[in-house]
Amino acid sequence: MYNNLDKQILKKIKEYKNIVIARHVGPDPDAIASQIALRDIIRFNYEDKNVYAVGIGVSKFKFLGTMDKIDDIKKEESLLIILDVPEFNRVDGASKDEYAYTIKIDHHPCDHPECDIDLIDESACSTCQIISSIVFDNNIMIDKASAEKLFTGIVSDSDRFLLSYTTPLTFNIASKLLNDYNLDLSVIYNNLYSRPLSERKFESFIINNLTITENGFGYIKLTNEDYKKYDVDANTASNMVNDLNHIKELRCWAFSSYDEKSKMFRINIRSRDIVINDVAQLHNGGGHKFASGARLSTQEEVDALFKALDERCKESK
Ligand SMILES: [Mn+2]
């Protein structure tokens, strides 16, 4: 279904002895699950290859697997695959010019070539869905643990099949993974969705302190003090943005969370039916039509973006 691009990718994987797999900074379950699953699928099929998953690990997602330290390989003779990320400036732990050949597999829109091969499927709910399609279309053997990871990424990025990127193909693939590999749903859902009470309290704090404009735009600016008080981190906050879906009064909503490490404001934007990625693009961000983000360095820039989003809500009333 990928116009032979998948076959070209598989050919390159066959060709290279050393393969490094990277994904975006501040990873979500889809990023890590697709990365680990692809690594383990390649290892499962080619015992003699050196395959590494790189980037900073996130303890919360340890159940998906751990990152690797690259051995003493010649990167200039190695293949780099980047997953779930449109551009190299957001890739964690790898840069383009170090490697002999680069491949991108992603579901985020991108209007320019980034790698030697770019497989972009904007209709897929997740990178894990794309990897699953490649696996099934090409009758590739995979192990049960990898199937479990692919399913986890699909469930997580589609927000449990709620988001509009969920298609009949998403269900077909999920069903095939479940059925062919006899997956245990309760284990997967427990890993993904059990969370400490402090996080639920933090979620209540967000809902109680959300500002909603008359145009249906909701926003909150989270500070380090807020994280400390609820014992959560900036990452937790940005992953929580999906939880505000289906609040009637909201058409579009955004979190600004200050990240001490990078000294940047991380903005997460969601919308029920208003296109917002073009607004994000004008403010140092980007993403999907209804799910975007941005990274900004000053409070003024945050205010300008929020104003533009409110404007967009007003225009599309
Ligand atoms: Mn994704």
**Per residue in 69-85, pLDDT tens?**
998 999 999 999 999 99
Last residue of a domain, one of 160, 191, 222: 191
**pLDDT: is 243 or 121 the higher one?**
121
Number of independent structural domains in the chain: 2
Last residue of a domain, one of 165, 191, 217: 191
Q: What is the mean pLDDT of residues 99-121?
A: 96
Q: How confident is the model at residue 235 (pLDDT cuts 50, 70, 90)?
A: confident
**Which has the higher per-residue pLDDT, 240 or 134?**
134
Q: Are residues 43 and 176 in the same domain?
A: yes
**Segment 111-122 mean pLDDT:** 96
Same domain, 109 and 251: no
Q: Tell me the mean pLDDT in the region 255-266.
A: 89
* Co-location of 134 and 266 in the same domain: no
Both 179 and 216 in one domain: the answer is no
Ligand 1 midpoint to CA 83 (Å): 8
DSSP string for the chain: --TTHHHHHHHHHHH-SEEEEEEBSS--HHHHHHHHHHHHHHHHH-TT-EEEE-S---GGGGGG-------S--GGGSEEEEES-SSGGGBSS--GGGSSEEEEEE-S--SS--SSEEEE-TTSS-HHHHHHHHHHHTT----HHHHHHHHHHHHHHTTTTTSTT--HHHHHHHHHHHHHHT--HHHHHHHHH---HHHHHHHHHHHHH-EE-TTSEEEEEE-HHHHHHHT--HHHHHHGGGGGTT-TT-SEEEEEEEETTTTEEEEEEEESSS--HHHHHTTTEEE-SSEEEEEESSHHHHHHHHHHHHHHHHHT-
pLDDT band of residue 287 (cuts 50, 70, 90) is: confident
54 and 145 fall within a common domain? yes
Residues whose beta carbons lie less than 5 angstroms from ion ligand 1? 30, 84, 126-127, 157
- Same domain for 54 and 38? yes
Please report the pLDDT score of residue 282 as a whole number.
Answer: 96
| Cα 155 to averaged position of ligand 1 atoms, centre (Å) | 11
Is 42 in the same domain as 131? yes
What is the per-residue pLDDT for 267?
A: 96
Q: Are 245 and 162 in contact (CB under 8 A)?
A: yes
Going from the Cα of 30 to the center of ligand 1, the distance in angstroms, rounded, reads 5
pLDDT of 262 higher than 90: no
* Residue that wins the pLDDT comparison between 3 and 185: 185
Q: Residue 109's domain spans which residues?
A: 5-191
The domain that holds 123 is classified in CATH as 3.90.1640.10
Same domain flag for 260 and 285:
yes
The residue out of 191, 210, 243 marking a domain boundary is: 191
Expressed in angstroms and rounded, the spacing between residue 297 Cα and the centre of ligand 1 is 24
Cα of 129 from ligand 1 centre, angstroms: 9
Claim to verify: residue 206 and residue 137 sit in the same structural domain: no
- Closest Cα partner for 243 from 190, 292, 203, 273? 203
Do residues 102 and 115 touch, judged by C-beta distance below 8 A? yes
* Residue 183 and residue 252 in one domain: no
Same domain for 252 and 186? Answer: no
- Residue 304 Cα to ligand 1 midpoint, Å, equals 27
Question: What's 269's domain CATH number?
Answer: 3.10.310.30
Is residue 117 located within the same domain as residue 16?
Answer: yes
